[in-house]
Structure 1
Amino acid sequence: MFLTRYERMIARRYLLPGRGEAFIFLVASISLVAVMLGVAALVVVMSVMNGFRVDLFDKIVGLNGHAVVQGYNGQLRDWQEIVQDARKTRGVTTAIPLIEKPLFAAFQGRTEAVLLRGMRMEDIEKNATIRDNIKQGSLASLKPGNKTIAIGSRLAEALGATVGSQVSLISVEGHATPFGTVPRIVSYRVGAIFEVGVYDYDKAFVLMPMQDAQTLLLMGNSVGMVEVNTTNPDKVEQILAPLAQKYADVAQVTTWKMMNRQLFEALKVDRLVTFTVLSIIILVAVFNILSSLIMLVRAKTRDIAILRTMGAPRKSLVKIFMTVGTTIGALGIGAGLVLGFVFIYFRQGVVNFIGFVSGQQIWDPSMRYLTTLPARTDPVEVLGIVVMAMVFSILATLYPALKAASTDPVQVLRYE
């Protein structure tokens, strides 16, 4: 929609307040602020929800892989063959044997339920989720036979343990005696403390070399499962279908979708509902633009009539008032984007400030899985928000613009 010189001049004049038009300008300003807040809210909330999903997925998959091949009885005796076949499967990038077992950890009278994970040292060192999140100590201290473990930061807080502490791991599957099964209790030195950023993992995970885990759990040379990563997490079922079919008698293939289906489905529903609700805020803001334009048309009826008698075509009036309305919407969208990105950049500081002022813990890691407020802005989503807000703004200008164009100069100027 190209404007002539006089159309641009008139549109610019109508955007600025005239004598006796302060109220119209106030309504237009409120419209601009409302659009700004609606766009900012959409950008912030969608970015946070995207960040929550992406961070949660990366951390969960970083520790659990895209799928696991797990023995029906909790053990895989021929795991070497499964690892080799998995690595030969097209689309599989890694296949890692590991042991996972729920146990109890005790230190100075405190006891916590933990999840023991035994891995080969080369696999531990290659795992970026653990390797890049060591807070205290070093993974180099974890050596087979050294009786050294790494624990999560939340677990360390709950037990009151630090690097160098002797933590006892308790396995209820101990030795059988004439008086019953005696729990197996072995002390290990804490060599490292990690924090991956997922509360449940930091609260429960205990990491040790696989040989030590096999000795503690009396598993011999067997493992509990084989963790598999693929080139495409969304097609993990199709990629691992041949492997699942081949070992259907001894093991079950469980994908990340099966393990976390309810969580990610809930996130998807929340994301859709939130987008719909916040879009209504923009729609309400756009109605303010409609109201301000209607008021402007009524205030400028005499000017419109004079323009018509001077030969201004109806099309010019439509373009002038559509330009005024879309300019208000565009300024609101631009300000909303700036406000949204500023909020995203300082999001953790804002959360901490609100918590400090209110005296409440706004972001509780025990309830929200992640220890910090995440954000991941999707350019396509931002573009969609901008387009949606702009379309709403343009639609809001149609009725006032057409109403102005239909003004009859004869009726307006009859009594002038």
Structure 2
Amino acid sequence: MTPRPFSAYERMIAWRYLRARRREGGVSVMSVISLVGVSLAVFALIATLAVRSGFRTEFVDTIIGANAHVTLRATPVYDEYGLVRDTIQDYERLADVAARVPGVVRAAPMINGQVMATANGRNSGVEIYGETLEDLKTIPLVSTPETAQGDLARYGEGIAIGSGIARELRLGVGDVLRLISPDGVKGPFGTTPRIVDYEVVYIFQVGRYDIDRTRIYMPFEEAQSFFNREGMADGIEIMVEEPEAVNASVPALVAAAGPEVYAFTWRDQWQSFLRALEMEDNIMFIILSILVMVASLNIVSGLIMLVKNKGRDVGILRTMGLSEGAVLRVFFMCGASIGLAGTLIGVVLGSLFAIYIDPIFNAVNWILGGGAWDPSVRYLSRLPAELRWEDVAKAVALSLGLSFGVTYFPARRAARLNPVEALRYE
């Protein structure tokens, strides 16, 4: 009766070959090197994929948590004076119509404009958003930010500013910030800049440097006056239940709002960031796949040496009746076991790194003396990581596929070894 494949005696021979010392014809040192190489490669792949997933999740969460998912704006038209008008007159009706569209959870009119901010002898360009207090409370990362100072309930008495503006202009709660708009009071001699002082009543940090560094919220009616928008709004901000599937909500919103408005989504606004993240994802996976392949080739080197050293043993086993298939399986198990063990170790190390990335990075930052993470460059206040099981599965499949694939060829060479040639000079 023919023994079944991968039987106990085949596993026993493979195990003896793996743990044999070099003077016994084994390559245990090479096996250890191969094991470490595969482990580190899988660890690097999982850690990188986790950080990449964390980056995307953090970017998307801060984008959809501090910005409208869909914005409705008026289609630009020329008035009787030849000037372009793109403001919304009946914004209350339009917001009410948009709020009744299925899937919409928030619809609020807003004023938007860019001005110069100055305080303590410093100047900075900022972006103003005019919102009512009730609407501002429905913006998740502003009403419940990473950190906050002041009282949002006093919003009607002043303005809310990002933490980056506060640091840049050296402001705290209760300080006065001067805003300067070139589109001010219109008089017989032209337009004079509008200069108004506001008390800072609330400082928020959403976690994205470009938002914290430029954004100011102003009461809606005050923003209408400041930007000469009495009775008008610049747009309708809309949030939906499923931000990732926001494009599915756009046709219904446009149909309900009418042809005089157009819509653009957060995906349209942040398209360059999303493409950059997708490109980074693909490039990193390809580069680290090459690293895993190189580590797997160490298994081939060790297995070729093992086949050469064990040529006499193979000849004896073949003369005793061991089939070519059995020899192939013996050497295949030698290489595959290294790949399997290295993959498991790499998965454990990579998963632990992703789970405990904050204390690990804090230790690295302390060793380097601080400053290893600059939010002004990376736009995020911390290094994110998200361990996704689909990423782990991709890393495991890649590592095992390469390890098993490259192991087959030296194992096949061992199986085809002629026992007469192997024993000729013994």
Match of 2:392? 382
- Do the aligned partners of residues 76 and 167 (structure 1) sit closer, same or farther apart at CA in structure 2, a change above 3 Å counting? same
The residue correspondences of 1:295-310 to structure 2 (distance < 5 A) are 295-310=305-320
Report the count of equivalent residues. Answer: 413
Secondary structure of 1:164 counterpart:
coil
Checking the alignment, whether the CA contact within 8 Å between 2:22 and 2:28 is kept in structure 1 is no
- Candidates 33, 38, 41, aligned match of 1:38: 41
Q: Which amino acid aligns with 1:223?
A: A
Task: Output the CA distance in 2 between the equivalents of 1:356 and 1:82.
Answer: 53
Q: Are residue 393 (structure 1) and residue 403 (structure 2) matched?
A: yes
Match of 1:172? 182
Task: Output the CA distance in 2 between the equivalents of 1:259 and 1:248.
Answer: 22
User: Could you tell which deviates more after superposition, 44-53 or 290-299?
Assistant: 44-53
User: Could you tell which deviates more after superposition, 157-166 or 345-354?
Assistant: 345-354
Match of 1:48? 51
Checking the alignment, whether the CA contact within 8 Å between 1:89 and 1:240 is kept in structure 2 is no
Task: Output the CA distance in 2 between the equivalents of 1:309 and 1:22.
Answer: 20
Checking the alignment, whether the CA contact within 8 Å between 1:283 and 1:392 is kept in structure 2 is yes
- Candidates 99, 113, 116, aligned match of 1:87: 99
Structure 2 portions without partners, runs of 5+: 77-84
Task: Output the CA distance in 2 between the equivalents of 1:353 and 1:236.
Answer: 40
Q: Are residue 339 (structure 1) and residue 352 (structure 2) matched?
A: no
Secondary structure of 2:277 counterpart:
helix
Secondary structure of 1:200 counterpart:
helix
Task: Output the CA distance in 1 between the equivalents of 2:305 and 2:88.
Answer: 76
Match of 1:64? 67
Task: Output the CA distance in 1 between the equivalents of 2:94 and 2:368.
Answer: 54
- Do the aligned partners of residues 103 and 375 (structure 1) sit closer, same or farther apart at CA in structure 2, a change above 3 Å counting? same
So what's the TM-score if we normalise by structure 1? 0.92
- Do the aligned partners of residues 83 and 406 (structure 1) sit closer, same or farther apart at CA in structure 2, a change above 3 Å counting? same
TM-superposed deviation, 1:150? 1.5
Match of 1:26? 29
- Candidates 147, 152, 170, aligned match of 1:139: 152
TM-superposed deviation, 1:379? 0.8
- Do the aligned partners of residues 22 and 307 (structure 1) sit closer, same or farther apart at CA in structure 2, a change above 3 Å counting? closer
Q: Which amino acid aligns with 1:43?
A: I
Q: Which amino acid aligns with 1:65?
A: A
So what's the TM-score if we normalise by structure 2? 0.90
Checking the alignment, whether the CA contact within 8 Å between 2:110 and 2:235 is kept in structure 1 is yes
Structure 1 portions without partners, runs of 5+: none
Secondary structure of 1:118 counterpart:
strand
The residue correspondences of 1:304-383 to structure 2 (distance < 5 A) are 304-355=314-365, 357=367, 361-383=371-393
* Identical counterparts, % of pairs: 36
- Do the aligned partners of residues 372 and 23 (structure 1) sit closer, same or farther apart at CA in structure 2, a change above 3 Å counting? farther
Secondary structure of 2:254 counterpart:
helix
Task: Output the CA distance in 1 between the equivalents of 2:242 and 2:161.
Answer: 30
- Candidates 4, 8, 14, aligned match of 1:5: 8
TM-superposed deviation, 1:226? 0.9
TM-superposed deviation, 1:2? 5.7
Q: Which amino acid aligns with 2:250?
A: L
